[in-house]
Chains A and B, each alone.
Chain A
């Protein structure tokens, strides 16, 4: 009997909430639109009603209104309904309404491009900023720390010593466990609540010893891992030093100096662009031609040459970015993938690659003369191209500066590690 009364109270309150949601929808949310699909309104109001009912049930729980068994029943029912709505109905209707709006799909390509574009441009700027700083750092041998064979041997000896210490401790543990087992004290892992209570009050001296030694072993294992990584690092540095003494190495070192000048110039230009709030109007090709024609007085067929030069320039940019991207992706993939997560990681990388290329197209527009820009402008529609360039400059600057800071700290910190005894 009381259950019926309680249920009727709940249902009345739910109807009230439903009505409130309905009115809210009509008067506030959709006040400028016409409600053509009542399904939407119903779903909205139902979701609102059941959500409010959950809060109501909490209040009832505190105030101890209604019968506790009927409260329990209504809780369960409420949760079921809300989950059904959230997991099945609302997503289904979202999909349904998107599909039925496919006609308008083409017009909203712009919006999608702008979203993809922003993310892609951010990514590109971050990578460029880091690359601009990391590249000279890697190429130039000025930054290489001096590593001698003696350093490596010393570290290796420490590593082996640590391993020996771990082994001797584990031997003690194994022996202790064996004697305990033979004496009949079976060292069970505490299972369940009572097990834990028992193990707190009565613990054999053998097992106490074991936990102590186990802790020491854990610390030593952590140390061994650190030493291993440091040794690998030293080997890598030694290889780089040897590589820098070869012809190829010297060539790259030389390139590194040029690259660093180029990167500094880029950072400088990015700062100027932001501070003086200007976006380059002409592309490098036309400007180059202007300069040669006007200042250097060399006359040549502008149209013919501008097409070829832009093709070469854009071609170089495209090829180097694709090559750079694939190399970086491969390195990244080897570093982080394992047999289990490889599928997910490849898909993520495909996503990043796609966004990177879309934003490259956006930005490459700036490097081309006007007559070649039209197709990109047409396809991509009314995008604020200037915004992307400004955004790129900002993120590039931020990324470059933080990379400089990061590399500086890493460089400073590394030699101190090896000086410790």
Chain B
């Protein structure tokens, strides 16, 4: 396949939120049996038919780059990670719905990834101050995914989902919360060019899978 068909998507988030499981799920259509700590970056590829069924149908390889580590890593690790952030087409931010810290850290993750592109001199932002302005002119589409919804008690779910809705709005991103069984939630947000049918992207494979 020609290199023009290359689509690179970063999957970022704290340790243990489920990035590797998510990537495995999307690419292999199977649940990851033995998740282990990701060192460096692990890549997986999904074949996606863009605009399937229409005359403009085209097959893309979506590369999901699952970058491991934490926002508080040593600056040497951050500099090494920065090499993966080149020419990115989209960013998936993953957070754990049972862990508030992981949602707060998403700001710092996105700053780390985006600033790499915005400031090509390679200077990394060291303070994690969140500034909405920085996302205003962001051209790279963001998707926020919350995992482990099934581990939250029924009564608390509404409160958690409202909180995450604010989060998604702040990023100007689209949001998916992964659950087991048949339903999943989808919040309105930015239209992501290149990923038209979100339902198609995630729906069929999420149906009857347990996610822990």
Query: Looking at the complex, which one of B1, B40, B43 makes contact with A170 (CB distance below 8 Å)?
Result: B43
Stretch at the interface among A63-71, A226-234, A287-295: A226-234
CA distance A233 to B74 in the complex (A): 11
Query: Looking at the complex, which one of B45, B72, B83 makes contact with A174 (CB distance below 8 Å)?
Result: B45
A-contact bits for B129-150, CB 8 A (1 contact / 0 none): 0000000000000000000000
Query: Looking at the complex, which one of A221, A231, A339 makes contact with B99 (CB distance below 8 Å)?
Result: A339
Whether a CB of chain A sits under 8 angstroms from the CB of B63 is: yes
- Minimum CB–CB distance for B45 against chain A, Å: 4
Whether a CB of chain B sits under 8 angstroms from the CB of A76 is: no
CA distance A233 to B76 in the complex (A): 7
Whether a CB of chain B sits under 8 angstroms from the CB of A171 is: yes
Stretch at the interface among A156-164, A263-271, A369-377, A409-417: A156-164
Whether a CB of chain B sits under 8 angstroms from the CB of A327 is: no
Q: Across chains A and B, which 4 residue pairs bring their CB atoms closest together, nearest first? A: A228-B40, A235-B76, A236-B76, A170-B45
A-B contacts besides A231-B80, A235-B76, A334-B72, 6 pairs, CB < 8 Å: A175-B47, A229-B40, A232-B80, A236-B74, A239-B75, A239-B76
Q: What interface size band does chain A fall in? A: 20 to 34
Q: Size of chain B's interface in residues, with CB distance under 8 A?
A: 27
Whether a CB of chain B sits under 8 angstroms from the CB of A225 is: yes
Q: Which residue of A has the minimal Cβ distance to B98?
A: A339
Query: Looking at the complex, which one of A159, A174, A338 makes contact with B37 (CB distance below 8 Å)?
Result: A338
B41 to A224, Cβ gap below 8 A? Answer: yes
CA distance A334 to B63 in the complex (A): 31
Whether a CB of chain A sits under 8 angstroms from the CB of B161 is: no
* Given A339-B15, A339-B16, A339-B99: A232 touches B45 (CB 8 Å cut-off): no
Q: Which residues in chain A, 192-251, are within 8 Å of chain B measured between CB atoms?
A: 221, 224-225, 227-229, 231-233, 235-236, 238-239
A-contact bits for B38-52, CB 8 A (1 contact / 0 none): 011111111100000
Q: Which residue of B has the minimal Cβ distance to A340?
A: B16
Q: Which residues of B contact A339 (CB under 8 A)?
A: 15-16, 99
Q: Which residues of A contact B44 (CB under 8 A)?
A: 170
- Minimum CB–CB distance for B188 against chain A, Å: 31
Whether a CB of chain B sits under 8 angstroms from the CB of A125 is: no
A235 to B80, Cβ gap below 8 A? Answer: yes
CA distance A363 to B75 in the complex (A): 39
Whether a CB of chain A sits under 8 angstroms from the CB of B61 is: yes
* Given A156-B83, A236-B74, A239-B75: A171 touches B41 (CB 8 Å cut-off): no
A171 to B45, Cβ gap below 8 A? Answer: yes
The residue among B39, B47, B75, B80 with the most chain A CB atoms within 10 A of its own CB is B80
Whether a CB of chain A sits under 8 angstroms from the CB of B191 is: no
